[in-house]
Each structure stands twice: as structure tokens, then as C-alpha cells.
């Protein structure tokens, strides 16, 4: 049963209020009070009420404390065990989450696990991610309160690994076989145990290590045959087909093997004479000569009476697919069936790609993350930009998005144009242009149309085919033929004119190349590298580039919590720096007061030592 945490009254007997003044001052200057005000107090507990039962029962553990713990885990990269110790024994952690002391509220690690599963189940059922909504709510409030300009933003992406080990094709197949066998009913396990003993008695990794390279394919085919037999044996059992391990069996068969079923063959054999029935057809001219019945058409009757029809069983052959035919989205490890594979820059990655957007206007007092998303690592940046820009436009009204070249392309640019967002790449995709030859970039362009050639000559005619998205421009043969740059120019000599053909896309790219040479454009491009530092902040919270979780939804929740933590740290650093700039006057005043007090104390001491008596004091 959901119950909101309304315990905000100050406990005067708590540890916090019994600390010495100096220690209490250190507590007030730490991150804990800021986290309590900026994050903990803003967590909307009612958002998570849908995770709990409406039936009257035991109340839930305070939601804002649980969500706060998850954010602190993302902030400090705690393990779950370390998080429990921090909550129960670290006063800063307890104070940041609304407690005035230690031991006032306890939690078991199992409660954390249950709440995480509730989050995943709710998202799978409804498609809504409550932590993502929390990130947006807290971020939007901070952007508004701090007056952050969101019209100009930058975006970048990077790989992040799942907490899985790299497995060979044989290891994957054997592990899937073992997992499925473990989930079968006990009686079925005993039935299959003797047949599968060679692949059940040791770990898949150990089996792979002791085989020679030449032996691997034979074993892979054998495992594939057993997987096929198991898959077919339980294809009609609804309880078994609903198992996750059964789905893995079918997936491995589809991804790693070529399953070929031969056509059914029929053989016709003559029956022995002694097996022919007396009631068989005696003569086609009189098919009622015996029984007087015509139960079969003539052909069917002869086949059934005179011949033995033998149907051969359907044969299935299992072959291993060539490595080059294995998809990047194939199963990488049964422990995480959502992780994908990608090779980039000579490095192999198994897991996902996260994409982050943040503000970057130079006038902002602090730059905050505005969007965080996670995708399979087979997703390209162009597709990510096409999906994320509309969301950012709706929430933050972004007008300019600074990215690297990988985010550009027809799909992303079309979406940006529709949303009214200017895409500003720092470089262009494709090969570098030769300095010895002229290209479309050297022509004078306006709105992706050629105004003049590099020498200033205007086209004599322009033909644009909107359906094909191509344009042909023609130049005067007399003027163009005598140009000293015609040898380096991309125009082609025709019988009556010189022509130059290009696509609309090429014109857009050429115009963008021209913009890259402009100083005001380059100035905006210089704002992008800082987003790589943001990516680094996420990477610092991983271990060798891997998260501590498996599965797309779990990984997504982790990077969202990291994003909230990074935003909090940035706001806190800004507030600390702001306070330090405002501190000189109070410090000077305190020093001046101390200086004056010291002077008066010195005078009083000197008078007492010299025997001088104040005038107001009577002499005895």
C-alpha cells in the first residue's frame, strides 16, 4: 500500500542538533543540505504510487528515500552493499535524505531489489519510465529557477557495456542448451540428461577451451542439432514455450545455424499377391463385379488395392552459418539478450550506446543536461538525432543543436528542418576534398542553388528535377571554354555548352562546407568539445566501460540516475562558487571587527599593567 512520506518535522534530539557548532558548520557546508533541498525535497512520491497495491496492507518504504538512494548510488558509484552501509552509518547520507540522525529509518537490500523490479514491470506494461519523468521534472525546475538558456544545445553519444563476458559462438550455444535444460520439469531433465551429458557436465567456457580449432565446428553442429530437437519436442507445450530459455533456443537456431528441411518423398511399392483382397477391382469395365460398391474413384481404388504407398520422414539438416552472416544484433550472452555488438575504430563493443544533450549558451551561469537516452549500440547517431530532437524541441524549445558529423544525414536534417532546429555539425562526413580540384563547395550557393561559378559566371540555364532530387546547370561554351580554371572545374564539356550535374543533397553538403569556413560558425563549433567532458563524467561511473547491470531497461535506469546526479553536482558547484564570490564583504567585516576588538583589548591590558585607572573609577 502506498503512503506518502510526510515526516519533515525537525527532531531536536537527533544527532545533527547535538553536534558541536564547528562540526555542524561543516555539515551545513557539505553537499548533504544541498542534495536535500535540490533533489530530495523535489522527488514526487505520488508519481510512484502506481507501483503499489491499492489494497489495505503494510505501507511502503518511503519512496523519496528510496529514489534518493538510487541517485546517490549514481553520484558516488556505490555498490548495493556500500549503499546500505552509507545509509545506515554515514550521517551525511542520512541527512541528505531527510533524516536528523542515524537509525531512525532502516531498509533491507531486498526492498531496493523489489522496488527496481516494480519499476521494470511497470515500464514493460505501460511504456512509461518513472525515473525518466523524474529526471525531466527536476531538470525543468532547475532550468527555470536558474534562468538557463536552452535555445542552444550540444549533443554527443558513446558506447557503454553491459555487465557480461564475451562468449564464442560455441559457448553461447552450449550455455543456451544448459539454461533450457535447467528450466525443464525434473522428469524431463532426467529423460534428456543421458543424451546431453557431453554438454551439461561442465561450463561452456571450459568446454570451449579444451577443444582444438578444427573441432569447434563439429561440436557446434552437434549442439545445434540438439537445440533443434529440443525446440521441436516442446513446440506445442505452452508452459515451456513461454520460458525465456526456450526463446533463446529458437533465437540461436535462427541466428547461428542454417536449418534446412528436405521435401517429403513418397515411394510406391507393389503389394504381394497374397495381400490382394478378393473384393479388389477385377476389370475397369465392371467395377461392381464383386461388392457392388463404388467407394473409391477408379484411380484411388487401384492405388489402395494393388500398391503400398510409403511416405519417408522429413529430414532436417543443420549447418553453421558463416561468421560474416551473423547479425550484429544476434545474442551476445544469454545473461543479457538485449545487448548488441558493434565494431568501431578497431574496438569491439557489447552493450548499448547512450546519448546526452546539454545546454551550451555562453551566457548561462551553469550548463545542465537536458536529455538522456539509451539505445542498442547498432543504432547510428543520425537515427538518434532524428528521434531525440522533437522531444527536446517540445520540452526546451531548442533552436540550435551542435553535434559532430555523425549526427548529420538526410533523416536527421529533415526532422530538424520540420522542428525548426538548426543542426550545426563541426565537421562533414565523407572524404576530404582535394585542394587541387574545384568542387561544388567552390561555387556561389544560395538556398542550395548555384548562383555563380568560382569565377563569378552565372549559369545560362538551370534544370531542376524535383522527383529525382537532381539539378543540372549549363554554362556558355564560349565563356566557360576560355576560363583558365576549366581544367580543375567539375563541369563537363558538351557539344553546345558546359554542364554540371549534382543532387540536392550534394548542394546542401556543399553549402554547409562553406559555412564551416565562416568565423561565426566556427565560434559555435568551439562550444561542442565540452560535451565530451560530460560523456567522460558518465564513463567515470563505469568499470572498464561497463555498467554493473544487465538488460536494456536496467541499463537505461542507471544512466538516467547518473544524469540526475551529474546535474545536481553541477548546480551545487555553481552555488558554492556563487557563495564564495559573495563572501568577501562578510569576511572583511569580521576581520575589521576582530582588529578593533584587539586594539581595545590591548589598550585595556596596557592600562592595567601601568597602573592607570579610568577617570570614572574613584580613587580609594
Examine the domain organization and report whether 245 and 379 are in the same domain: no
Examine the domain organization and report whether 247 and 143 are in the same domain: no
Predicted structure pTM score:
0.82
Q: If you average pLDDT over residues 569-588, what whole number do you get?
A: 76
Examine the domain organization and report whether 15 and 78 are in the same domain: yes
Cell of 175: 550455455
Examine the domain organization and report whether 257 and 235 are in the same domain: yes
Q: Is 288 exposed, middle or buried (0-12, 13-18, 19+ CB in 10 A)?
A: exposed
Examine the domain organization and report whether 15 and 65 are in the same domain: yes
398-449 pLDDT per residue, tens? 999 999 999 999 999 999 999 999 999 999 887 778 878 898 999 999 887 8
pLDDT of the residue at 613: 47
Kindly report the CATH number assigned to the domain that includes residue 386: 3.30.420.10
Beta strand 492-493 with 470-476 is: unpaired
pLDDT of the residue at 291: 46
Domain that residue 36 falls in: 1-128
Q: From CA 549, how far away is CA 70, in angstroms rounded?
A: 14
Examine the domain organization and report whether 87 and 189 are in the same domain: no
Q: Is residue 387 part of a domain?
A: yes
C-alpha distances (whole Å) from 168 to each of 179, 220, 417, 552 are: 16, 11, 45, 22
- Confidence label for 203 from pLDDT (cuts 50, 70 and 90): confident
The number of folded domains in the chain is 5
pLDDT of the residue at 616: 45
Examine the domain organization and report whether 43 and 91 are in the same domain: yes
pLDDT of the residue at 421: 96
Examine the domain organization and report whether 217 and 232 are in the same domain: yes
Q: Is residue 619 part of a domain?
A: yes
First-to-final CA distance of the chain: 83
Cβ pair 355, 128 in contact under 8 A = no
Examine the domain organization and report whether 233 and 99 are in the same domain: no
Examine the domain organization and report whether 147 and 224 are in the same domain: no
- Spell out the residues 6+ positions from residue 579 whose beta carbon is closer than 8 angstroms to its own: none
Q: If you average pLDDT over residues 449-469, what whole number do you get?
A: 90
Examine the domain organization and report whether 2 and 106 are in the same domain: yes
Amino acid at each position: 500500500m502506498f503512503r506518502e512520506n510526510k515526516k519533515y518535522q525537525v527532531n531536536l534530539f537527533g544527532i545533527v542538533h547535538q553536534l558541536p557548532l564547528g562540526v555542524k558548520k561543516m555539515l551545513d557546508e557539505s553537499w548533504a543540505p544541498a542534495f536535500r533541498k535540490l533533489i530530495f525535497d523535489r522527488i514526487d512520491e505520488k508519481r510512484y504510487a502506481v507501483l503499489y497495491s491499492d489494497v489495505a496492507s503494510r505501507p511502503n518504504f518511503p519512496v523519496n528515500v528510496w529514489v534518493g538512494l538510487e541517485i546517490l548510488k549514481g553520484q558516488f558509484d556505490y555498490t548495493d552493499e556500500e549503499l546500505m552501509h552509507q545509509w545506515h552509518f554515514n550521517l551525511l547520507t542520512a541527512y541528505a535524505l531527510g533524516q536528523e540522525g542515524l537509525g531512525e529509518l532502516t531498509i533491507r537490500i531486498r526492498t531496493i531489489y523489489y522496488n527496481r523490479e516494480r519499476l521494470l514491470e511497470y515500464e514493460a506494461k505501460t511504456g512509461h519510465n518513472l525515473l525518466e519523468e523524474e529526471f525531466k521534472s527536476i531538470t525543468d525546475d532547475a532550468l527555470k529557477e536558474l534562468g538557463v538558456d536552452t535555445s542552444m544545445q550540444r549533443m554527443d553519444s558513446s558506447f557503454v557495456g553491459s555487465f557480461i563476458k564475451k562468449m564464442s559462438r560455441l559457448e553461447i550455444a552450449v550455455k543456451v542448451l544448459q539454461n533450457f535444460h535447467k528450466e525443464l520439469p525434473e522428469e524431463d531433465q532426467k529423460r534428456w540428461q543421458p543424451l546431453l551429458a557431453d554438454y551439461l557436465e561442465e561450463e561452456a567456457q571450459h568446454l570451449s577451451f579444451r577443444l582444438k580449432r578444427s573441432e569447434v565446428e563439429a561440436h557446434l553442429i552437434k549442439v545445434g542439432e540438439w537445440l533443434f530437437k529440443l525446440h521441436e519436442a516442446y513446440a506445442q507445450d505452452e508452459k515451456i514455450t513461454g520460458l525465456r530459455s526456450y526463446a533463446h533456443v529458437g533465437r540461436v537456431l535462427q541466428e547461428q545455424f542454417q536449418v534446412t528441411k528436405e521435401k517429403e518423398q513418397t515411394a510406391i511399392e507393389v503389394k504381394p499377391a497374397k495381400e490382394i483382397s478378393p473384393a479388389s477391382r477385377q476389370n475397369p469395365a465392371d467395377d461392381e463385379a464383386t461388392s457392388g460398391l463404388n467407394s473409391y474413384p477408379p484411380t484411388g481404388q487401384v492405388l489402395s488395392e494393388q500398391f503400398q504407398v510409403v511416405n519417408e520422414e522429413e529430414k532436417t539438416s543443420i549447418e553453421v552459418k558463416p561468421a560474416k552472416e551473423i547479425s550484429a544484433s544476434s545474442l551476445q550472452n544469454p545473461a543479457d539478450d538485449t545487448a548488441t555488438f558493434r565494431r568501431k575504430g578497431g574496438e569491439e563493443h557489447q552493450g548499448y550506446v547512450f546519448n546526452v544533450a546539454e545546454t551550451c549558451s555562453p551566457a548561462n551561469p551553469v550548463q545542465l543536461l537536458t536529455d538522456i537516452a539509451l539505445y542498442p549500440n547498432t543504432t547510428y547517431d543520425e537515427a538518434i538525432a532524428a528521434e531525440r530532437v522533437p522531444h527536446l524541441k517540445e520540452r526546451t524549445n531548442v533552436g540550435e543543436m551542435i553535434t559532430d558529423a555523425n549526427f548529420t544525414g538526410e533523416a536527421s536534417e529533415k526532422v530538424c528542418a520540420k522542428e525548426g532546429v538548426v543542426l550545426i555539425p563541426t565537421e562533414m562526413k565523407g572524404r576530404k576534398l582535394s585542394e587541387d580540384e574545384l568542387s561544388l563547395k567552390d561555387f556561389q550557393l544560395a538556398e542550395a542553388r548555384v548562383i555563380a561559378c568560382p569565377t563569378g559566371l552565372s549559369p545560362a540555364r538551370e534544370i531542376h528535377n524535383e522527383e529525382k532530387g537532381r539539378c543540372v546547370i549549363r554554362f556558355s561554351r564560349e565563356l566557360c571554354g576560355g576560363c583558365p580554371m576549366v581544367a580543375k572545374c567539375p563541369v563537363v564539356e558538351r557539344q553546345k555548352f558546359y554542364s554540371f550535374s549534382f543532387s540536392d543533397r550534394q548542394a546542401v553538403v556543399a553549402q554547409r562546407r562553406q559555412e564551416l569556413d565562416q568565423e561565426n560558425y566556427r565560434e559555435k563549433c568551439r562550444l561542442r568539445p565540452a560535451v565530451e567532458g560530460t560523456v567522460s563524467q558518465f564513463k567515470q561511473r563505469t568499470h572498464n566501460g561497463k555498467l554493473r547491470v544487465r538488460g536494456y531497461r536496467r541499463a537505461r535506469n542507471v544512466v538516467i540516475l547518473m544524469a540526475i546526479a551529474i546535474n545536481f553536482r553541477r548546480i551545487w558547484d555553481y552555488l558554492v562558487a556563487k557563495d564564495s564570490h559573495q563572501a568577501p564583504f562578510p569576511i572583511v567585516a569580521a576581520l575589521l571587527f576582530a582588529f578593533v576588538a584587539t586594539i581595545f583589548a590591548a589598550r585595556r591590558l596596557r592600562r592595567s599593567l601601568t597602573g592607570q585607572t579610568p577617570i570614572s573609577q574613584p580613587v580609594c
